A and B are shown apart, each in its own frame.
Chain A
Amino acid sequence: DGGITQSPKYLFRKEGQNVTLSCEQNLNHDAMYWYRQDPGQGLRLIYYSQIVNDFQKGDIAEGYSVSREKKESFPLTVTSAQKNPTAFYLCASSIGPTLGETQYFGPGTRLLVL
Chain B
Amino acid sequence: KQEVTQIPAALSVPEGENLVLNCSFTDSAIYNLQWFRQDPGKGLTSLLLIQSSQREQTSGRLNASLDKSSGRSTLYIAASQPGDSATYLCAVKETSGSRLTFGEGTQLTVNP
- A positions within 8 Å CB-CB of B: 4, 6, 31, 40-45, 48, 50, 58, 88, 90, 92, 94, 97-100, 102-108, 110
* Distance, CA A15 to CA B15, complexed state (A): 46
Q: Hey, which chain A residues are within 8 Å of B34, CB to CB?
A: 102
Judge whether B43 and A102 touch: CB under 8 Å.
no
- B positions within 8 Å CB-CB of A: 4, 9, 31-32, 34, 36, 41-46, 49, 51, 89, 91, 93, 95, 98-100, 102-105
Judge whether A31 and B98 touch: CB under 8 Å.
yes
* Distance, CA A51 to CA B79, complexed state (A): 43
Judge whether B95 and A99 touch: CB under 8 Å.
yes
Would you list 20 pairs from A and B whose C-beta atoms are within 8 A, ordered by A residue? A42-B4, A43-B44, A43-B91, A43-B102, A44-B102, A48-B98, A88-B41, A94-B98, A98-B98, A99-B93, A100-B32, A100-B51, A100-B93, A102-B46, A102-B49, A105-B43, A105-B45, A107-B43, A108-B43, A110-B41
Contact with A97, one of B9, B42, B98 (Cβ below 8 angstroms):
B98
Q: Hey, which chain A residues are within 8 Å of B103, CB to CB?
A: 42
Q: Hey, which chain A residues are within 8 Å of B32, CB to CB?
A: 99-100
Which of B43, B91, B95 gathers most chain A CB within 10 Å? B43
* Distance, CA A48 to CA B49, complexed state (A): 21
Which of B45, B95, B98, B103 gathers most chain A CB within 10 Å? B98
Residue of A nearest to B105 (CB): A42
Judge whether B99 and A108 touch: CB under 8 Å.
no
Judge whether A104 and B46 touch: CB under 8 Å.
yes
Judge whether A105 and B41 touch: CB under 8 Å.
no
Judge whether B42 and A107 touch: CB under 8 Å.
yes
Contacts A40-B104, A108-B42, A110-B41; is A99 near B89 (CB within 8 Å)? no
Instruction: Name 16 extra pairs, CB < 8 A, besides A41-B104, A102-B49.
Output: A41-B105, A42-B102, A43-B89, A44-B102, A45-B99, A45-B100, A88-B41, A98-B98, A99-B95, A99-B98, A100-B93, A102-B34, A102-B46, A105-B45, A106-B43, A108-B43
Which of A88, A98, A99, A106 gathers most chain B CB within 10 Å? A99
